[in-house]
């Protein structure tokens, strides 16, 4: 069980890392959207590439962050009945869901999407819109995101089995008392502080 818990912690760290930096994809999409609007208004010109890169970035952001969302147990849950059950019953429901619903669904999506990604990469398929982008980069987000989600599902499964066997803590609570907005603000502040700390050193070189 300790080996499985080590694997679970490694998966948690991976999705925490991906989730922490996927926010910059949203920032990039917002920047592109604003730049496109300015160029269109000022120079009366635009391109479908600007529009498509926005939804490429947005697709990547929410697909690769699916595992991070599961890690923090922020997916939508219908708890009208589940919340009335005992802790042990709730854990068993999660185990059943991760093992017999989430995992098979992720495997099915991978089975169907990977050949599509390979086909679009080898054919060099382009968007049908004038000035559009090549298609395979956005399709790659599907197997990448689903793989991260499936791995996180396995991590959650391990944690719940460990809880039932007495080898792990309660896996049902939130990892942090802070909201997602507060965590994002802290991450941005830390990044800014890091840049400010590096600035004087760079100036003295």
Q: Are residues 141 and 184 in the same domain?
A: no
Total domain count, the chain: 2
Phi, psi of 126 (to 5 degrees): -110, 160
Please check whether residues 34 and 97 belong to one and the same domain: yes
Residues 114-152 have pLDDT tens digits of 999 999 999 988 888 887 888 999 999 999 999 999 999
d(CA 155, CA 203): 45
Rounded Cα distance between 200 and 205, Å, is 9
How far is it, in rounded angstroms, from Cα 160 to Cα 105?
Answer: 20
Task: Indicate whether 114 and 198 sit together in one domain.
Answer: no
Tokens standing for residue 200: 């004087």
3-state secondary structure 54-99: HHHHHHHHHHHCHHHHHHCCCCCCCHHHHCCCCHHHHHHHHHHHHH
123 with 198, same domain: the answer is no
One domain, residues 126 and 196: no
Q: State whether 161 and 182 are in the same domain.
A: no
pLDDT 10s digits, 158-193: 999 998 888 878 787 655 545 555 556 676 777 778
How does the average pLDDT of the chain come out, rounded?
85
Coil, helix or strand at residue 63 = helix
As a dihedral over the C-alpha atoms of residue 167, residue 171, residue 173, residue 176, rounded to 10 degrees, the angle is 90
- Model pTM greater than 0.85? no
Give the range of the structural domain holding residue 199, as residue numbers without chain letter.
178-205
Assess whether 123 and 202 both reside in one domain.
no
Q: Are residues 55 and 13 in the same domain?
A: yes
Q: What integer is the mean pLDDT of 95-120?
A: 95
Domain identity same for 136 and 81 = yes
Task: Check if the beta carbon of residue 165 is closer than 8 Å to that of residue 1.
Answer: yes
Regarding whether 103 and 133 lie in a shared domain, the answer is yes
């Amino acid at each position: 069980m300790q080996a499985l818990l080590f694997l679970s912690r490694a998966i948690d760290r991976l999705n925490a890392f991906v989730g922490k930096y996927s926010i910059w994809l949203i920032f990039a999409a917002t920047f592109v959207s604003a730049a496109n609007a300015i160029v269109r208004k000022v120079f009366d010109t635009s391109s479908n590439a600007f529009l498509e890169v926005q939804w490429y970035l947005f697709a990547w952001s929410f697909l690769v962050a699916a595992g991070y969302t599961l890690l923090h147990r922020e997916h939508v849950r219908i708890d009208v009945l589940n919340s009335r059950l005992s802790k042990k019953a709730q854990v068993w429901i999660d185990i059943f869901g991760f093992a017999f619903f989430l995992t098979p669904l992720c495997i099915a999506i991978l089975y169907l999407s990977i050949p599509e990604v390979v086909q679009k990469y080898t054919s060099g398929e382009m968007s049908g819109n004038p000035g559009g982008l090549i298609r395979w980069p956005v399709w790659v987000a599907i197997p990448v995101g689903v793989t991260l989600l499936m791995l996180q599902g396995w991590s959650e499964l391990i944690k719940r089995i460990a809880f039932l066997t007495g080898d792990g803590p309660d896996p049902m609570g939130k990892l942090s008392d802070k909201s997602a907005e507060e965590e994002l603000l802290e991450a941005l502040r830390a990044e800014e502080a890091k840049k400010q700390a590096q600035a004087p050193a760079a100036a003295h070189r």
